[in-house]
Amino acid sequence: MRKKIIIKFKSMKLREDKRTVEILGDYNGKEVIIELSVLQLAKFWNTDKEVLKKLEKSGWGSEELEDECKETRELVEKYPNIKVEWKPLVIKPPRNGVNWNKEKDIMCAWAIDISGWKNEGIGIIFPLPLYPEELDNEFIFSLFFDRIELEILDKRRER
């Protein structure tokens, strides 16, 4: 059985830019931050359907489309007391990875953008002492309604 790193969601809020959703998660009793675009969340939750139709036509997200995600913003404010149609989002290698930000002394595990602009990707920000070294292997990134699961594969990353 492969090892899984599970990060449970505690709360969700919009950042000041109103385009980025910040999720506070719990990993080993410590807080980690998860970031994603409000447009990505709309796609995952299947909300703001008219905006998603525009996204489908253009094939690429934009700040303008993010600005139109009113329904999703309202749901973020009410999370977890919401009902949405969603299905797990699974992103396999090589569309995910890790980065070390030396200035902030953090590691970020990320999955490639599914839509959005500038705030691309779904990022999990780990304080360096909390960073799970198993993420130096390739991993499958799965987004659920209440958690993120990172399933560790055996193959080591090229550095």
Structure pTM? 0.87
Q: How many CB atoms lie within 10 A of CB 55?
A: 21
- Look at the block and give the residue holding tokens 């500038």: 118
Q: How confident is the model at residue 159 (pLDDT cuts 50, 70, 90)?
A: very low
| Phi, psi for residue 39 in degrees, rounded to 5 | -70, -40
CA pair distance 158, 87, nearest whole angstrom: 31
CA pair distance 112, 93, nearest whole angstrom: 10
- pLDDT, tens only, 50-106: 999 998 887 777 889 999 999 999 999 999 999 998 888 888 888 888 888 877 788
* DSSP secondary structure code for residue 147 in this structure: E
